[in-house]
Amino acid sequence: MADSFPSVAVVILNWNGQSFLEKFLPSVNATDYPDLRIYVADNASGDGSVQFVQENYPKINIIQNSGNLGFAGGYNEALKKVAADYYVLLNSDVEVTKGWILPVIRLMHGNPVIGACQPKILSYQDRNQFEYAGAAGGWIDRWGYSFCRGRIFDTTESDTGQYDNAAKVFWASGAAFFIKAELYHQAGGLDAYFFAHMEEIDLCWRLQRMGYQIWCCPQSVVYHVGGGSLAQGSPYKMFLNFRNNLIMMHKNLAGSERFIIISARFILDGMAAFRSIIKGYP
């Protein structure tokens, strides 16, 4: 690392997100890292996104997928065409800071057991607040419900430096997801059946089953808008979260533990659905 830098490919998956590209590509394009390539992988947008990148960022590589393959399928298809030591899967609604890549690569490259990592993710709207989708690294509880350092359920914490230590976590956020490229393909990539939501947690779980660790590197900071594809409270988003979580549990648990936890989840999720109906949520 002292003499050479691993190659890094930042891959931004886009679907009709020209407004986000206009706003946030400048920060990505200003990234300070010696061996960096930037890609926009487009899921057949119809809003002029590809033309915008071609005209304004001719040095950024464009990968055009055949259709809207979702988050998982879109990345799987695009990353077949990207050669690098490390991939960074970056949401289009993320503002990065100039030196955001190097601290994460130093951490990962110096620790071969780390398979994936994320930066500290703060809210773009309230820059002293952790952002919902990842915060300072994620965990799942006994029953498979996800939470983060810096976020429990829908409540996020203010960033006062309480998570400024690099730390092992259970999952890294797909909003800014660093992974060793070789491991991405060895693990089979993201599960395309998920389409969107929970797929990065599933991948992190599979990496851990392969013997690797997941970390958060808070010396790197990004700011995330959130809800760029599916807004919070969207019925379809709620469906994907509940369905994909159960699929993830079925895939990664075994034997009696799988039966007990998934059975309990049907009861708990049924109660949550009933509560939503009573309260008039979608």
CATH of the domain at 25: 3.90.550.10
- Closest to 41 measured CA to CA, from 7, 84, 4, 70: 70
Please report whether residue 278 resides in a domain: no
Please report whether residue 257 resides in a domain: no
Residue reference for tokens 């970056």: 90
Paired tokens of 37: 């390539």
The conformation of residue 193, written as its DSSP 8-state character, comes to G
Beta strand 114-123 with 176-180: parallel, antiparallel or unpaired? antiparallel
Other beta carbons within 10 angstroms of residue 175's beta carbon come to 23
Domain range spanning residue 37? 8-231
Please report whether residue 252 resides in a domain: no
116 near 94, Cβ under 8 Å? no
The tens digit of pLDDT for each residue in 241-265 reads 888 889 998 999 988 888 898 888 8
Please report whether residue 247 resides in a domain: no
Please report whether residue 162 resides in a domain: yes
63 near 69, Cβ under 8 Å? no
pLDDT of residue 259: 86
Please report whether residue 274 resides in a domain: no
Q: Which residues contact 71 (CB under 8 A, 6 or more apart)?
A: 13, 174, 190, 194, 195, 196, 197, 199, 229
User: Can you tell me the distance from the alpha carbon of 241 to that of 255, in angstroms, rounded to the nearest whole number?
Assistant: 23
How many domains are there within the chain? 1
List, in sequence order, every residue forming a beta bridge with 130; answer none if it has no partner: 122
- Closest to 259 measured CA to CA, from 268, 269, 250, 251: 250
- CA 52, distance to chain mean position in Å, is 24
Please report whether residue 21 resides in a domain: yes
- pLDDT tens string, the chain, 282 residues long: the values are 556 899 999 999 999 999 999 999 999 999 999 999 999 999 999 999 999 999 999 999 999 999 999 999 999 999 999 999 999 999 999 999 989 999 999 999 999 999 999 999 999 999 999 999 999 999 999 888 899 999 988 899 999 999 999 999 999 999 999 999 999 999 999 999 998 889 999 999 999 999 999 999 999 999 999 875 555 557 787 788 888 889 998 999 988 888 898 888 888 877 766 666 676 655
Please report whether residue 3 resides in a domain: no
32 near 53, Cβ under 8 Å? no
pLDDT of residue 235: 74
User: Can you tell me the distance from the alpha carbon of 85 to that of 181, in angstroms, rounded to the nearest whole number?
Assistant: 5
23 burial via Cβ count (<10 Å: 0-12, 13-18, 19+): middle
